[in-house]
Amino acid sequence: MAEFIQSHFPKSTIVFLPPVMQDPTNRRPDLTLCNQILPGWKCAIPYEEGVLLSTEWFRKDMLIPA
């Protein structure tokens, strides 16, 4: 995933650091409430498209240069 994101920011580099205590690999959130509020919800777009949409939004609304 980092390489996909980096491909859209060619001047950036990937830096590997030790995981923080709150790293998702170290916790297991309980999604029971989420599933009760949004039963049957599933992601509608692939993450690649989501990354591109987020990138476009940040560039447009947060004034990040291309």
Q: Classify residue 5 as exposed, middle or buried by CB count within 10 Å of its CB (0-12, 13-18, 19+).
A: middle
Asked if 55 and 4 touch (Cβ cutoff 8 Å), the reply is no
Instruction: Give the pLDDT score at 66.
Output: 56
Per-residue pLDDT of the chain (66 residues; tens, 9 = 90+): 889 888 888 888 999 988 777 776 666 777 888 889 999 888 889 989 998 998 888 888 876 565
